[in-house]
Structure 1
């Protein structure tokens, strides 16, 4: 009797197959040097949220690292859709990583004709009804000691992983990273506060933070809804005095932060601003999925 495999179908370097057979070379520069970029796109109802925005950032990241675009956005979209269909994913995420390719180990970049390697896989998980979104987050603060080009979405994620693990060990959900006394962002999300007079504050775009696709959408939706928003750095002390705090990312949408370093933000409950922005994002961004 034939048994139906429970393995996911993944895409590796031009081929679809079961995850147990999805392998890359030991000479892949993503493995050797973290010489690779990635994007993660949310799946709702079997469709992709803000795919075009992710493609714009993908092109920018590749250009900043002098890596060629391996195929057109339309071709990448077709692979995304096939993986969603093959894995029957109704809600979850799809990850795409593009490395510079395979070459003998050398700090110098390989020749320009080195072919990039693309890897994609899905993760089925609840997004709309996320338990963390219903509960709210506890965060700790840690020094931001990442490299200086955080605006490029590379796979250099060891320190963010260490930071998130440190948060878990401290009984929190995530870490806010601090540089020169100011919050940069969370381990894998952009950070915000809502001041006592109702202003939304978040750090402006620079090489210090990732240019979040969800960040851009939420800022636009907030301004359309009449919220006053200020793009500037804020300190941990300001966060502790704020009425609300929250994060945004493609995997979390908008999530409220209830405490920082064990100190309650506002009344320690999910606030009306973050709650409303999550509703607006789900209504507009999710409604426009492809």
Structure 2
């Protein structure tokens, strides 16, 4: 019996040992013990797995450990907590008690730095401030929204100059800030962060060859409630789950469809369809984000109406069955990103290739970022390069 028990010790934890030991016919005193006493005996006599403590690092060791991760395509960070900019990726951190981490109580936006100019910066800052108001976030540079917009622009420009690049992505966050680990931000100091980086992971063929896309059932991933759907918060759990579910099904980003069979949006992009009637349609901004890129795309598409390539541009409900029957279907986001959908739920869209309107709008968005004049902000130190 003791031999069996010893063997059990080597192979299974206590609960498994009890089952296997009894099955092997543990004899003697142990076999006659009540179950509770037998379990107690096992706990006292079976050694626990020895713990392996982690080391207590010094300030320099901590910094060296962070530095080993490399810059990972991050060029500069402004932090209102420090009041300045760093280009050392190991120092690009936020306080652990900042509510951007503690409760996800923060909003953000992203602007494109193109040829030393911040593409449509004003539009992005206005959306950030609107999101902040909905999220009941205090402003980091006093109470005046216009002054905050100016100081945010200064912080963004300072980070871009420090990064010393003419082309990059620039993401900025407004957080309830550091101060406690509680639920509400009482006692916290609002914080503003700006990161200049090399862009999000993507596949160049998404633009040139198009993507396969799928709809994601609401039963698997529900849509956000209206408040969270219409402001750009850092709460992107459902967005991430939507894209993951889509990739499980052979898609890319994943399209949400409401209970009435109407298309809503992709995980981080707006959806646009070109109907057989030549009308360009995108869903209204009801329970979805008011994308800055799709708004600009609709404006630029007016030139395609003038040229006769489109018959009209319309923001109206878009049924899934209309998407299946569309001549072209595509997703837009990130100022200049347009991804044609060539297959949806296994069905070819149009002729199954990248359509002419998709190609023309891609070019219009790219040209607008480089040479357009709509609410852009030039950075003299970078434009002169």
TM-score (norm 1): 0.88
Give the distance between the partners of 2:165 and 2:243, measured in 1 at CA: 27
| Higher-helix-fraction structure | 2
Distance 1:267 1:285, change over 3 A: same
Question: How far 1:271 moved relative to its partner?
Answer: 0.9
Q: How many residues were matched structurally? A: 282
Contact 2:328 2:349 (C-alpha < 8 Å) held by counterparts: yes
Shift of 1:198: 0.9
Q: Distance in 1 between matches of 2:267 and 2:370?
A: 24
- Give the match for residue 246 of structure 1: 330
Q: Distance in 2 between matches of 1:85 and 1:258?
A: 40
Per-residue deviation, 1:159: 1.2
The worse-fitting range, judged by mean Cα deviation, of 177-186 and 83-92 is 83-92
Other-structure match for 1:209 = 288
Q: Please show how residues 179-194 of structure 1 align to structure 2 within 5 Å.
A: 179-180=258-259, 181-194=261-274
Matched residue SS, 2:130: helix
Q: Which of 1 and 2 has greater Rg?
A: 2
The runs of 4+ residues in structure 1 deviating greater than 4 Å are none
Q: Classify 1:89/1:136 alpha carbon distance in 2 versus 1 (closer, same or farther; 3 Å).
A: farther
Cα root mean square deviation, aligned: 2.3
* Aligned counterparts of 2:234 and 2:254: Cα–Cα separation in 1: 18
Distance 1:162 1:81 in 2: 34
Structure with the bigger percentage of strand? 1
Residue deviations 1:160-210, cap 9 Å, x none? 11221222333322111112221110110111111111111111122x111
Structure 1 segments unaligned to the other structure (5+ residues): none
Match of 2:178 among 98, 102, 126: 102
CA distance change for structure 1 residues 182 and 67 in 2, over 3 Å: closer, same or farther? same
Cα offsets for 1:241-281 (capped at 9, x unmatched): 11110111125532211111221111111111121112222
1:107-155: per-residue Cα shift (whole Å, max 9, x none)?
34425xx42112221221499x944211212211113422322110000
| Residue 224 (structure 1) shift | 4.1
After superposition, the C-alpha distances for 1:23-61 in whole angstroms (9 at most, x for unaligned) are 222221111221100001112223211111101111111
The answer for the alignment partner of 2:235 in structure 1 is: 156
Q: Which residue of 2 aligns with 1:15?
A: 84
- SS in structure 1 of the partner of residue 214 of structure 2: strand
CA distance in 2, matches of 1:214, 1:205: 13
Q: Compute the TM-score of the two structures, normalised by the length of structure 2.
A: 0.68
